[in-house]
Chains A and B, each alone.
Chain A
Amino acid sequence: MMVTILFYIFAAVAIGGAIGVVLARNPVGSLLYMVATLGAIAATFVLLEAHFLAAIQIIVYAGAIMVLFMFVIMLLNLGHDYQGDFKVGFYTTISLVVTGAIAGVIRSNLLGVQGLEGTGAEAIGVAVQEFGVVGAIARPLYTTYVVPFEITGILLLVAIVGAVALAKRNVT
């Protein structure tokens, strides 16, 4: 019961933040709204029995990625941009229509979700009991999904090198 109410509160925050991201004029404002949304989503993760992910979300997403964004905004000195970013016109209306269509499509898919049943929550609970919160995720990560894991490592390497290469000033 309590869980449900909490869930609704956090959901509202998330949605509000999302709308803020999209509609905010100032980029920095968008960013801050985004942080709020991320926080709310992290809370949602907790409510959905994904404790480790909640922590990761805060640390990585809200903490690192958003800070990176902020760096870039500051670097490019965009913080002063108070002009309207989008005007209500033909293009936004069309976008609204398309978005609404996507929403409809998703909704019609969602209708089939009601009857789904599963034992996932119990299994997670058992794993957490046995290995701890971190261990519950770590175990499949290092056994079943070890190959994607390693590849992800390489991916990060590539991303680092790429980012440095791209953002470097050309040596004149």
Chain B
Amino acid sequence: MITDALLLSAILFVIGTFGVLVRRNAIIIFLAIELQLNAVNVAFVAFSNLYGIDGQVFVFFVMTVAAAEAAVGLAIIISIFRHYETVDVNNFNFLKW
């Protein structure tokens, strides 16, 4: 079952990556990133069956960080939206000089 779990993790991760690359809506991109993180969590838990409780502790931390990151990231998106009235990442070329 561990192998299957890892396979699940891999598939979820790949789907998440695809979502990051393809979607235009910033919030949906975030969502896809969360999906990637969850896939990684699954992998950790699967390995904890082999190597002990440490895997689960790590998942704990991942979740915490994911929460913090989501909060901050969404705050950023909100502040961008205030200026530009859109969350379409194609329009965000502020890094261009």
Partner-B contacts on A (CB < 8 A): 3-4, 7-8, 11, 14-15, 18-19, 21-22, 27, 30-31, 34, 37-38, 41, 44-45, 47-50, 52-53, 56-57, 60-61, 64-65, 68-69, 72-73, 75-76, 78, 81, 85-86, 91-92, 95-96, 98-99, 102-103, 106-107, 110, 113-114, 116-121, 123-124, 127, 136-137, 139-141, 144-145, 148, 152, 155-156, 158-160, 162-167, 169
Contact = CB atoms under 8 A, between A and B. Distances in A.
B49 A11 contact: no
B22 A118 contact: no
A114 B6 CA distance: 11
Contacts of A64: 67
Nearest to B77: A72
A98 B66 contact: no
B6 to A, nearest CB: 6
B24 to A, nearest CB: 5
A141 B31 contact: no
Contact of B67 (A60, A78, A102, A164): A60
B68 A14 contact: no
Interface of B: 1-8, 10-19, 21-25, 27-28, 30-32, 34-35, 38, 41-42, 45-57, 59-61, 63-72, 74-79, 81-82, 87
Given A11-B4, A22-B18, A117-B50, A27 B27 contact: yes
Contacts of B55: 120
30 contacts: A21-B28, A21-B35, A22-B18, A34-B35, A37-B35, A37-B38, A48-B1, A52-B56, A56-B63, A60-B67, A69-B74, A72-B74, A73-B27, A76-B87, A86-B23, A99-B14, A99-B21, A107-B10, A113-B6, A114-B3, A116-B2, A118-B50, A120-B53, A137-B57, A140-B57, A144-B54, A152-B64, A155-B64, A166-B72, A169-B82
A75 B78 contact: yes
Contacts of B48: 48-50, 120, 124
Given A4-B1, A15-B15, A155 B32 contact: no
A53 B69 CA distance: 19
B74 A18 contact: no
Contact of A18 (B15, B30, B53): B15
A85 B17 contact: no
Given A65-B67, A124-B48, A167-B79, 8 more contacts: A22-B19, A41-B41, A95-B21, A110-B6, A120-B50, A127-B53, A162-B71, A162-B72
